[in-house]
């Protein structure tokens, strides 16, 4: 079974404390958490060690490998901390300057390719992610990967003088709630979902 080590860690934690730290629901019979990933609710069934999404109007869908990784890592590591409301680059998170490079480079180039010529496309599907518009760059939004992990995406339009630019920013507390590999995974899931939403709507 995937992520056995993470399941073992999660099952050994105090259920009510875990739910409080992760800002999610804990329910019994069967024992499970209900946690929101990218504005979609997921049930984390502790008895069967299964995770599946609950999208309105559709049958439960088993979570993908990377979705499971994000959710399990978050439930294990999240802390009962308020959002700092201070945006930082990934490299300024603890050990981030060593992690977010090479294979773990954030997907800013993908955002530049998709939104650089038309930054306003970033606003087309805000309701899918419960995203809020921000006042940075030529277009910017903030939405939550997980209940305590907001991400802010900023796009600067390409013009004759400059190439398109994209920034992916986090709340200063992001590293408190997710190990950096899980945070990187969550960002990639978010960017993939944004790109797919634009593709499907356009």
Q: What is the pLDDT of residues 127-148, one digit of tens each?
A: 889 999 999 999 999 999 999 9
In this structure, the answer to whether residues 165 and 68 fall within a common structural domain is: no
SS3 letters across the chain: CCCHHHHHHHHCCCHHHHHHHHCCEEECCCCEEEEEECCEEEEEECCCCEEEEECCCCCCEECCHHHHHHHHHHHHHCCCCCCCCCEEEHHHCCCHHHHCCHHHCCCHHHHHHHHCCCHHHHHCCHHHHCCEECCCCCEEEEEEEECCEEEEEEEECCCCCCCCEEEEEEECCHHHHCCHHHHHHHHHHHHHHHHHHHHHHC
Give the rounded distance of the alpha carbon of 178 from its chain centre. Answer: 10
Q: How many domains does the chain have?
A: 2
Examine residue 46 and state whether it is found in any structural domain, yes or no: yes
pLDDT band at 189 (very low <50, low <70, confident <90, very high): very high
pLDDT in the model for residue 201: 75
Query: Residue 35 in contact with residue 71, Cβ under 8 Å?
Result: yes
For residue 39, being part of any structural domain is answered with: yes
pLDDT for the residue 56: 76
What would the mean pLDDT of 151-167 be, rounded to a whole number?
Answer: 93
Residue 55 or 95, more confident: 95
Q: In the predicted model, is pLDDT for residue 58 greater than 90?
A: no
Same domain for 63 and 96, yes or no, is: no
* Residue 82, domain member (yes or no): no
Tell me how far apart the alpha carbons of residues 25 and 23 are, in angstroms, rounded to a whole number.
Answer: 7
Is the same domain home to 94 and 178?
yes
The whole-angstrom separation of Cα 151 and Cα 34 is 21
- Integer Cα distance of 45 and 31 in angstroms: 6
Q: Are residues 154 and 176 in the same domain?
A: yes
Residue 1 pLDDT level (bands cut at 50, 70, 90) = low
Q: What is the pLDDT of residues 162-177, one digit of tens each?
A: 899 999 999 999 999 9
pLDDT digits (tens, 9 = 90+) for 70-98: 999 999 999 999 999 999 999 999 999 99
Do 41 and 117 have their domain in common?
A: no
Boundary-marking domain end, from 50, 77, 104: 77
- In the predicted structure, residue 57 carries a pLDDT above the cut 90: no
Q: Are strands 40-45 and 50-54 parallel, antiparallel or unpaired?
A: antiparallel
The band of 54, judged by pLDDT with boundaries at 50, 70 and 90, is confident
Q: Can you give the pLDDT at residue 7?
A: 97
Whether 57 and 91 share a structural domain: no
Tell me what pLDDT residue 202 has: 62
For residue 143, give its domain range.
Answer: 87-201
- What is the chain's mean pLDDT, rounded? 94
Residues 73 and 92 in one domain: no
pLDDT for 63:
96
């Amino acid at each position: 079974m995937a992520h056995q080590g993470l399941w073992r860690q999660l099952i050994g934690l105090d259920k009510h404390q875990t739910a409080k730290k992760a800002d999610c629901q804990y329910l019994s019979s069967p024992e499970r958490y209900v946690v929101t990933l990218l504005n979609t609710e997921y049930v984390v069934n502790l008895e069967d060690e299964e995770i599946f999404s609950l999208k309105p109007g559709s049958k439960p869908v088993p979570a993908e490998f990377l979705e499971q990784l994000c959710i399990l890592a978050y439930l294990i590591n999240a802390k009962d901390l308020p959002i700092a409301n201070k945006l930082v680059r990934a490299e300024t998170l603890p050990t981030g300057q060593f992690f977010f490079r090479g294979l773990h480079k954030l997907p800013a180039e993908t955002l530049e390719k998709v939104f650089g010529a038309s930054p306003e496309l970033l606003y087309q599907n805000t309701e899918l992610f419960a995203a809020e518009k921000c006042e940075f760059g030529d277009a910017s939004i903030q939405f939550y990967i997980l209940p305590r992990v907001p991400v802010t995406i900023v796009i600067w339009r390409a013009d004759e003088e400059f190439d398109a630019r994209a920034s992916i920013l986090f709340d200063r507390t992001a590293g408190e709630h997710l190990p950096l590999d899980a945070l990187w995974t969550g960002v990639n899931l978010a960017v993939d979902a944004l790109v797919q939403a634009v593709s499907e709507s356009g």
